[in-house]
Structure 1
């Protein structure tokens, strides 16, 4: 099966260098093949990568004031969203020791100064193409073919790492378990083709409610969905749940066998605000599922959060 790769022109590159001339040179060389953003302050890189869609590639000067490029790279590799983003160091040193430091920091490649334009272009193109191929293969492996959300295979492979990373940073993590109300009745009334379309629309409502790249939405099974929200407090968890309830209502998927007359979600939540104790993925999913059951018992089409996890 041929891979459906996105064009290089849709890729976004971040150039980080405190030298204005170097930023201009690299930006000029690369502007015709991709979108280029620039930063002169290495302390801004983490916020840039966390606050929006991560770049597809970073060109990072090794010798930066405040925080050097090696430390920036190590910090970025702590972020799940940055694990597969190529980081190419730009360095004036050709010493073996300096090159080894780049590899050990998590760098994908390095380019020596003075920069040869053809080398820069070919290195960047090669890494962008490799990243696009990897993303497409991951999509085929880890995405649900019907909804486009992550599947259980992804959950089994990657979710524990997400939990451990959050715990290592002494942060909280939230879970939402969702179930479509009266979905069997919907299928019986409208047919399975309409049911599939309903599941796709429901997945869209979930995606529209998630604003951060680190948030993970999984088709857990059938009409049940799981959302993982790292670095989220109770207010954030409630906000996402309310947005999902609002967005699925806006879809206005007619359901004559529902008392609400449209397709709706019941949602159960779980939140761990533990700073130092052990907690597990299974325990959080269990609590979210119990709260989902309570939402169903109380009449459906609502979010229930009766308890948090703090073990």
Structure 2
């Protein structure tokens, strides 16, 4: 990237940016930093980096920046001194690079002025990686304010999600800045974080993945993604400095949809992302059509089988409960014979849509299991919760008031519900959970129908 282009990019970043050489001389500061500190551009470029730090913290600051240059640390918290003598609390993260062919470090400073009113003034201290966020969400101490610059708050959820995975902060910022207008941008600093986000509730529609990373390289991430049912269909674009044909061939064998070498062109990357996202949307529509039960217009058994397997694996990783409800329309054969198949079909449609309407969470799913039977997946739901949901669904069907002159249970159409709950582990299986739900349904029918029983 040419120097002119680099400067243009750095000026688009709202955070404060500085570039400093090994001697500590400031080589560049962006407009945001100039405005925050009150110095002129000329004054700053003549300063040493330590001149911006608190005098009684000078020794700590010198050691911190020294450690940054040799790669012993990537970030620090500090207060910068404004021209008027007041302090600006901030946290800095750095990455290595070159400026006019001179080795240097690039620093991004987050302004903590607002948080400073509530939290103590930060001191130079080694930060810890936030265990729940992306690589961009780093913090100093438990209880300190979390950096939410790359989270999904206030974003348009209708936009496609792009997960950028790179251990270089500069690359993350560059790509995030280029894509944030058209996409919800998610970031991860290594392969482990990438897998956590890819298997989360808000899955990305496409992944931009670096190859050379610590902890877990991009090839291993691809292998893991393809092994899991919930992630195997997410398109992956590799962004890498590896230009060898064998590397590209290996990546394509792993199932990546594109292979782009660095340095890359942003317009080309944006164009390729758009094409792959559109292709995924088309495939998703085709898949959803194949997952729909034609009569009831809810998910079919194929969709249920795939979804329950995904949720079982997710619950096992997260250590959370998973519940399943089996639901049967009571004495439906007698209803069908008496009222006719057209009225029977209409009855099943009403039951299905009512069940769907009364599942309150988007993560839950109701599907037609077969004939007059339905099945529900309830994520993060314990035994009591499953029984309560089952009872709500049972009442909702009674409240439809569909007349039935042939029912031995009530004067309206009713359903029986079997509930089963497990904490997935090595000691149980999904098949056992489904068998338990089926046994609970049998128990409900044998004990009088129009009720909820659990196994």
TM-score over 0.5 for the pair: yes
Query: CA shift at 1:142, angstroms?
Result: 2.2
Query: CA shift at 1:154, angstroms?
Result: 4.8
Structure 1 residue matching 2:389: 3-state secondary structure: helix
Tell me which protein shows more strand as a share of its residues.
Answer: 2
Structure 1 residue matching 2:325: 3-state secondary structure: strand
Q: Which residue of 2 aligns with 1:42?
A: 191
Query: CA shift at 1:262, angstroms?
Result: 8.6
The reply on whether 1:119 has 2:238 as its aligned counterpart is: no
Instruction: State the Cα deviation string for residues 89-119 of structure 1 (Å, max 9, x = none).
Output: 1111111222233234442222211121221
- Shift in alpha-carbon separation, 1:124–1:237, aligned structure 2, 3 A: farther
**Aligned CA-pair RMSD:** 4.1
Q: Which residue of 1 aligns with 2:112?
A: none
Of 189, 192, 203 in structure 1, the residue corresponding to residue 356 of structure 2 is 203
Assess if the C-alpha contact under 8 Å between 2:309 and 2:430 holds in 1.
Answer: no
CA distance in structure 1 between the aligned counterparts of 2:227 and 2:377, rounded to whole angstroms? 18
Structure 2 residue matching 1:80: 3-state secondary structure: coil
* Equivalences, count: 287
Instruction: State the Cα deviation string for residues 74-97 of structure 1 (Å, max 9, x = none).
Output: 222232121211011111111122
Assess if the C-alpha contact under 8 Å between 1:199 and 1:223 holds in 2.
Answer: no
Greater RCO, CA 8 A, separation 6+ = 1
Query: CA shift at 1:290, angstroms?
Result: 3.2
Given the two structures, how large is their TM-score scaled by the length of structure 1? 0.72
Assess if the C-alpha contact under 8 Å between 2:382 and 2:421 holds in 1.
Answer: no
CA distance in structure 1 between the aligned counterparts of 2:202 and 2:394, rounded to whole angstroms? 24
Structure 2 residue matching 1:115: 3-state secondary structure: coil
Which is higher, the Rg of structure 1 or of structure 2? Answer: 2
Instruction: State the Cα deviation string for residues 5-40 of structure 1 (Å, max 9, x = none).
Output: xxx963111112222221122122222332222222
- Shift in alpha-carbon separation, 1:110–1:249, aligned structure 2, 3 A: farther
Unaligned runs of 5+ in 1: 1-7, 307-311
Structure 2 residue matching 1:10: 3-state secondary structure: coil
Of 208, 228, 232 in structure 2, the residue corresponding to residue 59 of structure 1 is 208
CA distance in structure 2 between the aligned counterparts of 1:164 and 1:37, rounded to whole angstroms? 25
Assess if the C-alpha contact under 8 Å between 2:222 and 2:254 holds in 1.
Answer: yes
Q: Greater shift after overlay, 290-299 or 147-156? A: 147-156
Structure 2 residue matching 1:51: 3-state secondary structure: coil
Q: Which residue of 2 aligns with 1:5?
A: none
1:239-278 aligned within 5 A? 239-246=385-392, 249=395, 252-255=399-402, 259=410, 265-269=416-420, 275=426
1:1-311 aligned within 5 A? 10-154=159-303, 175-181=324-330, 193=346, 196-206=349-359, 208-209=360-361, 211=363, 217-227=366-376, 236=382, 239-246=385-392, 249=395, 252-255=399-402, 259=410, 265-269=416-420, 275=426, 281=431, 285=434, 287-306=436-455
